Amino acid sequence: PPYELAASWPFPSPNPSTRGPVLLLLPLVFTTLTLLTLSLRLYVRLRLIKCLYREDHLIVLAGLGAVGLGAVVAHAHTVGWDRHQWDQRLEWFEASELDMWLVQLFFIVIMAFVKLSTLALYGRMTVGISIPYYKIVNRGMILVMIGWGVGFFTATVFGCWPIEMYWKSRSGDECTNEYVRLAVGTIVNIVTDFVVVLMPLPIIWKLQRPMREKIILWILMAVGLIHVRSDVQLRYHLFVPPPLSPTSLLTTPGLGGLAFAYTVVECNLAIMCTSIPTLRPLAKKYMPKL
C-alpha cells in the first residue's frame, strides 16, 4: 500500500476482525459438490452410455484444477486473507502473495477447460445437423478460448520478472500493471461466458425432438447463466471498489479473501452447470416420467 495510507492505519489488533471460516468452508463444500457431480457424470458415461467423449476428458482436467484452487484458497485463510491488511503479519507476506498468484492461474486453467469442454460438446451435437456457419463459429470460439487460456496464463506467470518477484517484491517495480491485465482478461472472459451459454439455442431448435424436450434441454443449458452471474459478481468485487474509493480494497476486512471466495464459487459452478445436462440419462433411468 502507499506509505501515506499505511501510516494512517491503526496498530494490529490483538483480536482482529475477520470474515470467519468462509475461506475454509466454501472450498470444502463446493469442491465436494463438484467432485460428486463429476462422479455422476463419469458414471453416466462409463456405465449407462459406455463411452467417454472429448468433453469429458476436458471437464475432468477442470475438476482437477478446482481441487487445486480449493486447496490454495483454504491455505489463504491461514495467511491473513480473511482480515484487514494492518492485522496481517509480516511473515505471511510471501505466502499470501503466492496464494494470489496461484488462484489466478487455477482460475484461467479451470475456465479455459470448462469452456473448451462445452464447445466440444456443441461440436459433437451438430454432427448430422445443418446449421449455416455454426461449425465455423464453434471452431472460432475454440481458438479464442485456447488463445485466452494460453495468453493470460503466460501473462500471469511472467507478470513479474524474475517470476518469484510476484510474491517477493514489496514495491512491485519488477511487475507489469496487474490491474490492466485482470481487466482485459475479465472482459474477454465475461463476453465468452455469454456467447458459450447462448450458443446451444440453434442446436436445440434443430433437434428432432418434441417441443417439451427442447424446452427442458434449453433450461438445462441455461443453468450456465447462474455461473455467468457469479462471474459478474466476482468482477464487481475486484474492480468496482477502486474507482469508488481507492482505499477500499485495503481497508475493508478480508475483501481480497471475498474475491477468492467468489472465485471458488464461480469455478465450481461452471463445472457443475456444464455437467448437469449430461446427467439427463441418469434422471430418466430413476425418474422416467421426467
Residue 6 lies in a domain: no
**Structural domain contains residue 215:** yes
Q: Which residues pair with 83 in a beta bridge?
A: 18
Kindly report the CATH number assigned to the domain that includes residue 192: 1.20.1070
Contact 124, 55 (CB under 8 A): yes
Grid cell 466476482 in the structure block, residue: 234
Indicate whether 211 belongs to any domain: yes
Q: Which residue range is the domain that position 83 belongs to?
A: 20-286
Cβ contacts of residue 102 below 8 Å, gap of 6+? Answer: 68, 72
The per-residue pLDDT for range 81-121, each reduced to its tens digit, is: 776 565 566 778 899 889 999 999 999 999 999 999 999 99
13: in domain: no
Confidence class for position 183, pLDDT limits 50, 70, 90: confident
Under 8 Å between Cβ of 207 and 217: yes
- Sign of the torsion formed by the C-alpha atoms of 247, 152, 30 and 219: positive
Structural domain contains residue 74: yes
Q: How many domains are there within the chain?
A: 1
Among 19-23, 108-112, 152-156, name the one with the lowest average pLDDT: 19-23
Is the residue at 8 inside a domain?
Answer: no
pTM: 0.85
pLDDT tens, position by position, 193-235: 888 888 887 777 776 667 766 676 666 666 656 656 655 655 5
Greater confidence (250 vs 110) lies with 110
* C-alpha cell read off for 55: 468433453
Q: Is residue 4 part of a domain?
A: no
Q: Which amino acid is at 143?
A: L
Enter the C-alpha cell of residue 133.
456457419
Q: Would you call 83 helix, strand, or coil by DSSP?
A: strand
Q: Residue 125: which of 213, 206, 210 has the closest Cα?
A: 206
| Position with higher pLDDT, 155 vs 129 | 155
Mean pLDDT, all residues of the chain: 81
Q: Are 272 and 35 in contact, with CB atoms under 8 Å apart?
A: no
Rounded to an integer, what distance in angstroms lies between the CA atom of residue 60 and that of residue 114?
9
Closest CA to 8 of 259, 246, 188, 234: 246
Longest dimension (CA), the chain: 68
Residue 11 lies in a domain: no
- Compute the distance between CA of residue 64 and CA of residue 61 in angstroms, rounded to an integer: 5
The span from the CA of 116 to the CA of 118, in Å, is 5
